[in-house]
Amino acid sequence: MTTMPHAKESSTLVLFVRSLLFSIGMTLSTLIVVPLVMLSFPFPFEQRYRVSQRWSRFNMWWLKKTCGIDCQISGLEHLPTGPTIVIAKHQSAWETMFLQQLLPPLVWVVKRELLWVPFFGWALAILNPISINREAANAAIKQVLRQGREQVSKGRWVLIFPEGTRTAPGVRGRYGVGGAMLAAYTGCPILPVAHNAGEFWPRRGFLKRPGTIQLVFGPLVESNGRKAKELNALVEEWIEGTMQRISNVA
């Protein structure tokens, strides 16, 4: 049966209104939480982190209410009790918020330009991210190793998106070796993460489509006795293999 043009227009309008409602809520919550995060700077990291988690939790709840986007999680049994290097697929803004509100206190490896964004970037800086200059690859890796070891020594997890930027569903970016090098350097295991969030919250699209995101935590990849190149290959193989299984994109 052929879908009538007015039905498509109506569907698009509904998606637009729902996406707009979500964006309004996210903006308002950001205006409220960012000053709170900035004011929390005298307190320990864990307390600052909990303040920021409230923002992520609200927006995940609001996303479900407005846009009908939910999540089904597999592999929770693989989450370790100690510090780990989380290496995740990057398709959307969704995973940055979802993983923050779900996992223990962690720091992100981010491009330094994010810290230049007024207010949001300033609040992000208070959460001790590892901000790198992607144009200076060697210096960036040294920074990830130095600051990453400092963070895990404090019991924190480190989250890295190895492709460096968001990729469209069905696209496989080049996996940088920084996360694997940090795991080998610190002896921490790697927790690989695959998901198909980009099919519902596109990387450069405003419209968000209802549905259930599949997020899968893989078995821990132990780093002891393994070189970074081997670790990176194992993680990439698992993530991309899992992506083929959960993706709805041909």
Whether 227 shows a pLDDT value over 60: the answer reads yes
Q: What are phi and psi of 14, to 5 degrees?
A: -60, -45
Is the pLDDT at 1 greater than 50, yes or no? Answer: no
Helical spans, DSSP H, in the chain? 5-39, 45-67, 94-102, 120-126, 137-153, 178-186, 228-246
pLDDT at 23: 97
What's the rounded Cα separation, in Å, for the pair 192 and 239?
7
What average pLDDT does range 213-218 have in this prediction? 98
Residue 40 in this model has a pLDDT that exceeds 70: yes
How does 56-76 read in b/e, with b if 16+ C-beta sit within 10 Å? Answer: bebbbebbeebbebebeeebe
For residue 249, pLDDT beyond 90 = no
Contacts of 75 (CB under 8 A, 6+ apart): 216, 217, 218, 219
User: Per-residue DSSP letters for 116-163?
Assistant: GSTTHHHHHHHT--EEE-TTSHHHHHHHHHHHHHHHHHTT-EEEE-TT
pLDDT value at position 120? Answer: 86
The alpha carbon of residue 138 and the mean position of all alpha carbons in its chain are separated, in whole angstroms, by 23
Please provide the CATH number assigned to the domain covering 69-246.
3.40.1130.10
Sketch the domain layout of the chain as residue ranges.
69-246
Task: Give the CA count within 13 Å in the CB-facing half-sphere of 76.
Answer: 7
